C-alpha cells in the first residue's frame, strides 16, 4: 500500500477510535436509572437484567420470553387520595348530572355530587358499582375513550394541581425504558379498567394498548342504523383483573409467564407468586409507599392499595422492596 494511503487509513482509525472512546464515556455517564438512588434495590434490578441478557450465561433468557408486568395504581402512578379512575367516575357524574335531576335526592348520586366520599362508602359496594356502571356503560367504546381523553385534558389532581397522567413515577418510567432497551416486552396488568388505561398508557408509559391487561365490562357488537358497526359498553362486569384474577389475566392476554413483575399491594400478591413460581431467574418487586412528603405513606392499614400479606411474603422470600423515600431521587417527572 502507498504510504499516503496508510497515513489516510491511520487518520481514519484515530478518528474512529476517538469517537468510540467518547461514546463509551458518554454511555458510562448516562445512567438509564438515574432517578434511582444507588443501593441494594437498584442493584437487584440491574443485576437481574444483566444476568438474563448475558448471552451464553447460566441465566440467559431469550428475548421473546422477557415478559415484564407492572401493576398500574400505586406502582406506575399514584392512587391517593382515591383511585384516579374513581375520581374520573365522580367527575363524570357531575358532568352528566343536569340530565338527571333525580340524582340530587338519590344515593349514591347525592354523595357523589357532594364529593362526599364517606357518604359514598356508606352506600356500600352496590353504590360504588352503580357509579362505575353509569359512568362506564351505555355508550360506544369510542365515545368512552373520548370522555377519558377529555377528562385527562381538563381534570387536575387536588393536591398537586397537575393532570392525573403527569402523576406517574419518574423512576418507573426509566425502568420501563431500561427493560425495553434490554429486549423486554412491558405490560400493564392492573385492576383498573382496560379501556380507561389504554387512553393514556402509550403516551404516558410507552405501553401500547395491546399490552394493557385490566378489568373489563361486557361489550356488545351492534350494527348501527347507518350501516356502521359499533361496540356498546354494557353495565355488566366481565372480568376483575385483581388478586387471583391477575395470573388468570396474564394467562388469558399474554399466554406466557412473566419473568419480571412489579406491584405495590396485596392485590398483586398472586401475580408476584405466579411470576416467582416459574423456572430460571425471576424478579419480583414491590413499591412500598413510605414518602408522605413527596407522595404518600401507607401500607397495612390503608383502604386503598393495602400492602400487608404481600409485604410479609416479599420480605420472607427476598423480593425487592422499594422504599420510595430512600430509593427514589424524585417521584414525579418535572412539569412539561
Contacting residues toward its own copies, per CB under 8 A? 2, 4-5, 8, 64, 67, 141, 185, 187, 194-195, 198, 202, 208-212, 216, 219-221, 223, 228-229, 231, 244-245, 247-248, 251-256, 270, 273-274, 277
Q: Closer CB to its own copies, residue 78 or residue 265?
A: 265
Neighbours of 329 (CB within 10 A): 12
Nearest-approach distance from CB 171 to its own copies, in angstroms: 25
Nearest-approach distance from CB 251 to its own copies, in angstroms: 5
Task: Name 328's bridge partners.
Answer: 36
Nearest-approach distance from CB 229 to its own copies, in angstroms: 5
Buried b (16+ CB within 10 A) or exposed e, 29-58: eeeebebbeeeebbebbbebbebbbeeeee
Q: Closer CB to its own copies, residue 72 or residue 111?
A: 72
DSSP-derived secondary structure letter, 191: E
Q: Look up cell 352503580; give the residue.
A: 130
Phi first, then psi: what are they for 176, rounded to 5°? -60, -45
3-class secondary-structure state, position 147: helix
Neighbours of 95 (CB within 10 A): 14
Q: Closer CB to its own copies, residue 145 or residue 302?
A: 145
Q: Closer CB to its own copies, residue 127 or residue 245?
A: 245
Chain centroid to Cα 316, Å, comes to: 25
Q: Closer CB to its own copies, residue 111 or residue 270?
A: 270
Nearest-approach distance from CB 212 to its own copies, in angstroms: 6
Q: Look up cell 356498546; give the residue.
A: 232
Nearest-approach distance from CB 334 to its own copies, in angstroms: 26
Amino acid at each position: 500500500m502507498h504510504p499516503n494511503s496508510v497515513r489516510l487509513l491511520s487518520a481514519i482509525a484515530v478518528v474512529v477510535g476517538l469517537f468510540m472512546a467518547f461514546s463509551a464515556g458518554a454511555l458510562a455517564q448516562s445512567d438509564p436509572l438515574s432517578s434511582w438512588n444507588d443501593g441494594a434495590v437498584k442493584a437487584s434490578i440491574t443485576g437481574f437484567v444483566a444476568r438474563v441478557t448475558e448471552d451464553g450465561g447460566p441465566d440467559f433468557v431469550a428475548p421473546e420470553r422477557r415478559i415484564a408486568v407492572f401493576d398500574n395504581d400505586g406502582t406506575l402512578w399514584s392512587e391517593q387520595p382515591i383511585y384516579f379512575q374513581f375520581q374520573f367516575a365522580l367527575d363524570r357524574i357531575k358532568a352528566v348530572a343536569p340530565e338527571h335531576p333525580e340524582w340530587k335526592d338519590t344515593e349514591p348520586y347525592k354523595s357523589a355530587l357532594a364529593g362526599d366520599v364517606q357518604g359514598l362508602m356508606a352506600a356500600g359496594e352496590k353504590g360504588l358499582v352503580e357509579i362505575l356502571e353509569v359512568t362506564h356503560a351505555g355508550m360506544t367504546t369510542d365515545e368512552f375513550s373520548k370522555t377519558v381523553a377529555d377528562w385527562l385534558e381538563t381534570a387536575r389532581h387536588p393536591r398537586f394541581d397537575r393532570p392525573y397522567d403527569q402523576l406517574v413515577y419518574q423512576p418507573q418510567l426509566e425502568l420501563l425504558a431500561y427493560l425495553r432497551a434490554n429486549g423486554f416486552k412491558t405490560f400493564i396488568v392492573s385492576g383498573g379498567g382496560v379501556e380507561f388505561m389504554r387512553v393514556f398508557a402509550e403516551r404516558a408509559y410507552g405501553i401500547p394498548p395491546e399490552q394493557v391487561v385490566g378489568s373489563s365490562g361486557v361489550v356488545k357488537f351492534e350494527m348501527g342504523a347507518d350501516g356502521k358497526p359499533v361496540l356498546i359498553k354494557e353495565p355488566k362486569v366481565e372480568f376483575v383483573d385483581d388478586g387471583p384474577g391477575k395470573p388468570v389475566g396474564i394467562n388469558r392476554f399474554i399466554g406466557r409467564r412473566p419473568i419480571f413483575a412489579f406491584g405495590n399491594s396485596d392485590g398483586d400478591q398472586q401475580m408476584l407468586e405466579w411470576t416467582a413460581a416459574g423456572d430460571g431467574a425471576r424478579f419480583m418487586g414491590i413499591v412500598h409507599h413510605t414518602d408522605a412528603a413527596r407522595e404518600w405513606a401507607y401500607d397495612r392499614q390503608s383502604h386503598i392499595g393495602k400492602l400487608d400479606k404481600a409485604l410479609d411474603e416479599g420480605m420472607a422470600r427476598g423480593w425487592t422492596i422499594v422504599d420510595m423515600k430512600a430509593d427514589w431521587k424524585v417521584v414525579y417527572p418535572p412539569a412539561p
